[in-house]
Amino acid sequence: MASANEELQNLIDDPGQWAIQTGDYQNHRYSVLDQITKDNVGDLQVDWTFSTGVLRGHEGAPLVIGDVMYVHTPFPNIVYALDLKDDGRIIWKYEPKQDPAVIPVMCCDTVNRGVAYADGKIFLHQADTTLVALNAETGEVDWSVQNGDASIGETNTATVMPVKDKVLVGISGGEFGVRGHLTAYNIADGTMAWRAYSLGPDEDMLIDPENTTHLGKPIGENSSLDSWEGDQWKIGGGTTWGWYSYDPELDLVYYGTANPSTWNPAQRPGDNKWTMTIMARNPDDGMAKWFYQKTPHDEWDYDGVNENILVDQEIDGEMRKLLVNFDRNGFGYTLDRETGELLVAEKFDPAVNWASEVVVDKESDQHGRPQVVAEFSTEQNGEDVNTTGICPAALGSKDQQPAAFSPETGLFYVPTNHVCMDYEPFRVNYTAGQPYVGATLSMYPPKESHGGMGNFIAWDATKGEIKWSLPEKFSVWSGALATAGNVVFYGTLEGYLKAVDAETGDELYKFKTPSGIIGNVMTYTVDDRQYVAVLSGVGGWAGIGLAAGLTNPTDGLGAVGGYASLSDYTALGGQLTVFSVPE
């Protein structure tokens, strides 16, 4: 077995700490802490709070290493170290000086999904793509490196992930024609170890045409170049702003690539490989083992960056090493994470209509491909034609807000968007640093539904079935947390922290925090007492109208009109709220 970063792995294994944004390398977002149970969670109370001093969308979660909590903010990406033994006293504060010109280049709010820890360092990937390693004790900069160029639209919204002696870093900016990549920097000094592009020549992508596979078959030479017209791949998107996971036994990292550029499919004929793809790579040299492209020639902006959750479960009587992915396109995928074999692909929101199915039959010439419904094909309907009633909307049946997995129930707990759209593509020219979108969108709840724009669901990934579903007024844009107390937590855009029964979905507790929740719920202990914490601060794509003061319904890439009534329920804020059950 390949050894992960040993110190970090030990911290991850300690349930009293929250050492990595995803809870663990497998992205389970599950805690074995069980002081807070379904029987006493109703007694939960606010223990303490902390104002971040920043407005706009607060995604991600704090980390807890030892008795110190590390809290981050959206732009300007302040980091606080708080002393949990001394009423949250601020030990240090890091406030980078970034050019505010990066703000309008960030497509969907100035969010950041949190810091990472390894080897005594706190890693922050700033909006302007500066990656800094801060001394965890003092907040001083150990080293910093520039990962991209904001002047051509390259920005960052994601967290990073330390694996062994490297830290893995993505890039945002698909709406500006950025060519996506994943980069590994050496933790010790910030030097670049490797960079793997999402598209382009084989050598740029770190692929071996004979040994890198797609659905079990070698991808062959020039697999990406042959799927683009001319040089369109150079501004082709496939950015990497989602989550990463790692299997130390297989020594593979997994992540997804985003939408192709532009949003007008007529300008980029072909499958546009390897956008919209789950990638499995060796963390030491970046070489790709397998790919799976979920939405070839994406016509709807269904980015493929959502988290890949690694579980071992039984399918057809056989224990399998699985990878589970809830894609923006509305399909829940279950793959063999060793080989990339597709095992299950089913809709996790019944409203999904852009495709009838994803073909799982290996004998079919359509194996692995979604079967596009002509009525909802923006490509087939053509440029300057408004295709109406497409479900889901571009923000997907689930965006980056991470699901949780409980080994106790074997179920996945998934925050979802229940939203449809109209989509009108138009011809657009590329200019470096300028938006390169090429579509006008409007969003709204599905017809003949519960009237709301979200559900929180429990999912069986071995069968591809919804076990229960809780309707919500707005999209559930918060990351879930599952615990051994048989409680699952999530937040709502109105600002509620909710606790539900892991088996039944019955609501056990709710508390309204000062602003809408798009942060991810986490848990930790101090002096053997369990706490639950979440960041409030409405924003993100769903809350961009509120966060940025936009009122035109088609602004915010179509989200402003769909979520216009959100301002009736919450206001801007930036606060950490920490809960516990009274002793």
Annotated catalytic sites, by residue?
Answer: 301
If you search the block for the tokens 């009838």, which residue do you land on?
356
- Gap between the Cα atoms of 167 and 20, Å rounded: 12
- The separation between CA 522 and the C-alpha centre of its own chain, rounded to angstroms, equals 16
Q: Provide the token pair at 271.
A: 């499958």
Taking the CB of residue 93, how many other CB atoms lie within 10 A of it?
A: 13
Q: Is 300 helix (H, G, I), strand (E, B) or coil?
A: coil
Cα(20)–Cα(478) distance, rounded to whole angstroms?
Answer: 17
Long-range pairs for 361-365: beta carbons < 8 A, 24 or more residues apart? 362/215, 362/216
Element containing residue 421 per DSSP (H, E): strand 420-425
Nearest to 344 by CA among 503, 462, 423: 462
Specify the residue for token string 């963390």. Answer: 283
Q: Which two tokens stand for residue 443?
A: 């969003």
Alpha carbon distance 432, 420 (integer Å):
31
| The token pair that represents 115 in the structure block | 């810091």
DSSP assigned state of 18: B
Distance of alpha carbon 295 from alpha carbon 302, whole angstroms: 8
DSSP of 141-200, one letter per residue?
EEEEEE---GGGT-B--S--EEETTEEEE--B-GGGTPBPEEEEEETTT--EEEEEESSS
Joined together, the tokens standing for residue 104 give 């309008």
* Cα gap 274→386, rounded to integer Å: 27
Q: State the maximum Cα–Cα separation within the chain, in Å, rounded to a whole number.
A: 66
Q: Tokens 């724009």 belong to which residue?
A: 453
CB atoms within 10 A of CB 210: 10
Report d(CA 258, CA 156) in Å as an integer: 13
Phi-psi region of 329 (alpha: psi -120 to 50; beta: other; left: phi over 0): alpha
Give me the DSSP letters along 204-263.
HHT--TTTSEETTEE--TTTTGGGSSTTGGGG-B----S--EEETTTTEEEEE---BS-S
- DSSP characters for 329-364? TSEEEEEETTT--EEEEEESSTT--SEEEE---TTS
Q: Which helix (H) or strand (E) holds 560?
A: helix 559-562
Tell me how far apart the alpha carbons of residues 288 and 207 are, in angstroms, rounded to a whole number: 5
Decide: residue 14, CB within 10 A, 0-12 exposed, 13-18 middle, 19+ buried. Answer: middle
> Using CA atoms, how far apart are residues 114 and 160, in angstroms rounded to an integer?
8
